[in-house]
Amino acid sequence: MAIALVTGASRGIGKATALQLASEGYTVAVNFHHNIKAATDVINQIVDAGGKAFAVRADISDEAQVMAMFDSIDREGEPLAALVNNAGILFEQSTIENLSAERINRVLATNVTGYFLCCREAVKRMSHKHGGKGGAIVNVSSAASRLGAPGEYVDYAASKGAVDSLTTGLALEVAAQGIRVNCVRPGLIYTDIHASGGEPGRVDRVKSMLPMQRGGQPEEVAQAIVWLLSDKASYVTGSFLELAGGK
């Protein structure tokens, strides 16, 4: 079929998306940064189910590593048809008085610059004007981009606001080149990222505040991502899907 690159694919939403894309027939490029064991486990699950996958290690905030990752994908011999920008970082909950420039810059480097770099390299390969066959990109944002995450991580929320703007602008920029660009905004999802924020049980603590009275599962977000990448969403670009239980 073709290759789908999923960044941050060794856990959570990225892992669930990689597994579902493989079941749809994509060869999945499983990007990871540190945890090669987790990435290998994802690949083994895909292969055991009859799918195809390979690992690509890169810190997406590093331009040289991103370019090397895409070069390695090129060597696989199949066209890149899909990009899921999912990798992201989050630090411990904090009010703005305690945010250091180092922390802010690290969040922006991964969550914003990393997304831009991956989009840039994907467009070079997908765009009709570069000889590509077209493709689709899904950026994973967050409900925090709308809600602001006050008292917890406004730096993360701001980074996701930038992802939203990237989605809107890039969708318009490349629409005539055969590339669709869309975005999902997950809310309270049961993933490991809450532990990075210092509160592993955050979803259970606040789920009663949601209209649906529950947290979401990574697989529910993955299903939306896979749909946006599919031909069933062939007339959808520049759109945002809220996966936040009604909030």
Catalytic positions are 156
Cβ atoms of 55 and 49 within 8 Å: the answer is no
Cβ 46 vs Cβ 9: under 8 Å: no
DSSP string computed for 121-188: HHHHHH-GGGT---EEEEEE--THHHH--TTT-HHHHHHHHHHHHHHHHHHHHHGGGTEEEEEEEE-S
- CB neighbours of residue 135 within 10 Å: 25
CB 30 within 8 A of CB 43: yes
CB 235 within 8 A of CB 182: no
Give the integer Cα–Cα distance in Å for 135 and 133: 7
**Which residues on adjacent β-strands are paired with residue 83?**
5, 137
Side chain identity at residue 228, one-letter code? L
